[in-house]
Structure formats: structure tokens, C-alpha cells
Amino acid sequence: MSARKSESEWRAVLSPEQFRILRQKGTEMAGTGKYNKHYEDGMYNCAGCNAPLYRSTSKFDSGCGWPAFYEAVPGAIDRHDDFSYGMRRTEITCHACGGHLGHVFYGEGFGTPTDERHCVNSVSLSFAKEDSKI
């Protein structure tokens, strides 16, 4: 799947806040995102291209103020070294469209199966409720 667009094409399909975060690597304020305390069964998708990113079963409450997941759908995200703000972090982006999702942190001791915390902006996500169990 490829969802590469020009800057003007992205501006035409994203809200100004989605554009700021997904395309300009912005961050929403902690505790303000609609998916921070959201716990329905379903799939969290990229708000830019609708690619599946995270299953609700991998979401957990980290208390950080942003949606937290311990693993992504296999092949859904890319990881990049981010040296902004004078530190080394790992940025995560949507593999399909390159949209900025947030950052992943390692070894924080949350007791999750991967010992990772994918700290994702709610604005970078859309949600599809699970209709039925198969």
C-alpha cells in the first residue's frame, strides 16, 4: 500500500491539526486526545491513510497522557532515530504514508509483553470498532 501525497494534497485532505502532527511531526498536548482513555474493541488506523496500525488488545494505560500501545500490527510502522530536543528518541511513522505517529520508549517496566510503550498522538489515529468476534 502506498499513500504518498504532495504537501498540498495532504493539506486538502487533513485538518490543520492533523497536518501539523502527521506531516510536520507535531505533538498534541498531553491528556487532550480522544483516544487517550478509549478502550473499545477494534482497530486503531492511521488518520492519514486508514492503514491498520494497532489492535485494541495492545493498548494499555501508561498514565503518560497519550494513547499507549505495546506493539503495532506487523509491518505497519517504521522506526527512525530522532535527535531533536537534545536527546535520542525513536520516532514512529506509518509505513504506508509516512505520517508521524509519535515515539516508542523501551524498558520502562510496564509489564507488557514487549516492554515497549508506543506513545501515539490521538490526532494521528482513527478507530474502527470491532463488530463481532470471529
Q: Which of 46, 49, 94, 119 is catalytic?
A: 119
| C-alpha span between 101 and 69 (Å, rounded) | 12
- Closest Cα partner for 97 from 50, 27, 43? 50
Please report which residue ranges of 34-128 form alpha helices under DSSP H: none
Per the structure block, which three cell numbers stand in for 39? 478502550
Is 119 among the catalytic positions? yes
Check if the beta carbon of residue 61 is closer than 8 Å to that of residue 68.
Answer: yes
Check if the beta carbon of residue 127 is closer than 8 Å to that of residue 33.
Answer: no
3-state DSSP assignment of residue 53:
strand
Catalytic residues: 119
